[in-house]
Amino acid sequence: MSPDRLKRLLNIADFRRASRRILPHPVFDVIDGGAEDEWTLRRNESAFDTVAFVPKTLDGTQARDLSVSLFGHTLSMPVMIGPTALQGLLRPGGELMSARAATAAGTAYALSHGSICTMEALAATGATPRFMQVFVYRDRSFTHEFIDRAEAAGYHGLILTIDNQFGGNRERDIRNGFTIPPKLGAAQVAQMAIKAPWALRMRKDLPTLSFANYVRDGRAINMRDPKFRLTDMLDPGMSWADVDDIRKRWKGPFLLKSLVHPDEARRAVDRGVDGVVVSNHGGRQLDGMISSFEALPEVVDAVRGRIPVLIDGGFRRGADVVKALCLGASAVMLGRPNLWGVAVGGEAGVARVLDIYRTEIDRVMGLLGVSRIADLGPDYIRSVAR
């Protein structure tokens, strides 16, 4: 999409609609859908309707400073790109494009375990700061290999995602016959072929598409083997002992992601975790659970300012970001909006998405009468009836 056409996409909803037009139906659904009835997915977005702004416009805001400091780095705004798998399914080199756009925008990028590029290839882009997502596997040595590789590749932080030990029941994908990695039967090929621009871009990469980081003994794991299932590799018995083990192994900033209960937030601080990410996996795991925004206040209260609290899930406007900051969040991680940006315009698309958030946050702060992110607080919002 040309720069002029990208500028005509005025908000994140425009990017979602554009990506729906561009992507084959099964591919769009795999990034857009959630688990089961998708109640939590919808709740993530609608929860922001329970809070309204209360401006103090005469405080004066001739200039606004959107920068925040996180884990020894200064970000240009309180928005970063969170870990989302299979960006390379949307466009060849999708993860590399996202990382370059994040760095150019002065913010952070987190690489998914399920990326199409290796963590070493992402590091070679020079993206700074960069974080690596890890899981806990039944074979703990595989978890340790991820950690060692991330350290060797110079990642600045490690993110342990804790809500994925069982696969979510994503019924859109089941109906579409979509698997990860894709298994291309006649029906799938037919659905994909009707989106000619996407099909032409992906014609070389699609037949061999896989999770590039899954390597053992120097050889890629054959993820197309019918005996292989990623969910079988993950350990449902993951516990705080694993958190302690990773904390000992990883010397840099260590974050727990997909934490929503205040009790777990307190225990995370006590165990030396450097940050938590309030998240329900974008509504893709346990349907019917609390939205990230609704879980945020209790987690912030439990942490009591001792470590940063980040959040993701349903953030479609800069106003949503500001509401979370008022409740004590340190920054917001983007998931689907980044994917829609990759799909629509590659690096330029992600850059446009980030610019939309920056512009909207700046405008909201100006209208609230706030000059600095640090000045935002609960005094600028009120609970309201739906």
Is there a catalytic annotation at residue 113?
A: no
Question: 137: pLDDT confidence band, cut at 50, 70 and 90?
Answer: very high
Which is more confidently placed, 224 or 256? 256
- Topology of the domain comprising 3-383: TIM Barrel (3.20.20)
Please identify which of the residues 73, 113, 261, 281 carries the catalytic annotation. Answer: 281
Average pLDDT over residues 236-249: 97
Q: If we measure between CA atoms, which residue out of 167, 333, 133 comes closest to residue 246?
A: 133
Predicted confidence at residue 231, as pLDDT, reads 76
DSSP 253-312: -EEEES---HHHHHHHHHTT--EEEE--GGGTSSTTPPPHHHHHHHHHHHHTTSS-EEE-
**What residues have CB less than 8 Å from 355, skipping those under 6 apart?**
105
Q: If we measure between CA atoms, which residue out of 23, 36, 29 comes closest to residue 178?
A: 29
Place of tokens 């705004």: 77
Amino acid type, 50: T
Would you say residue 30 has pLDDT above 70?
A: yes
Would you say residue 157 has pLDDT above 90?
A: yes
Amino acid type, 208: T
Average pLDDT over residues 356-364: 98
DSSP 18-72: HHHHHS-HHHHHHHH--STT-HHHHHHHHGGGGEEE---GGG--SS-B--EEETT
Q: Copy the structure tokens of residue 384.
A: 């309201």
Q: Is 80 helix (H, G, I), strand (E, B) or coil?
A: strand
Q: Is 134 helix (H, G, I), strand (E, B) or coil?
A: strand
Q: Would you kindly state where each structural domain of the chain is located, as residue ranges? A: 3-383
Average pLDDT over residues 314-340: 98
Place of tokens 């979509």: 178
Place of tokens 């209260």: 301
Asked whether 340 and 353 are in contact (CB, 8 A), the reply is yes
Residue 386 CA from chain centroid, whole number: 27
Place of tokens 């290839």: 121
Q: Copy the structure tokens of residue 209.
A: 């598409």
Would you say residue 248 has pLDDT above 70?
A: yes
Predicted confidence at residue 199, as pLDDT, reads 87
Would you say residue 180 has pLDDT above 70?
A: no
Would you say residue 228 has pLDDT above 90?
A: no
pLDDT tens, residue by residue, 75-134: 999 999 999 999 999 999 999 999 999 999 999 999 999 999 999 999 999 999 999 999
Average pLDDT over residues 318-347: 98
Predicted confidence at residue 367, as pLDDT, reads 96
Predicted confidence at residue 165, as pLDDT, reads 87
DSSP category for residue 77: S
Predicted confidence at residue 183, as pLDDT, reads 66
Q: CA angle, 296 as apex, 294 and 297 as ends, to 5°?
A: 95
Question: 267: pLDDT confidence band, cut at 50, 70 and 90?
Answer: very high
- Average pLDDT of the chain, as a whole number: 93
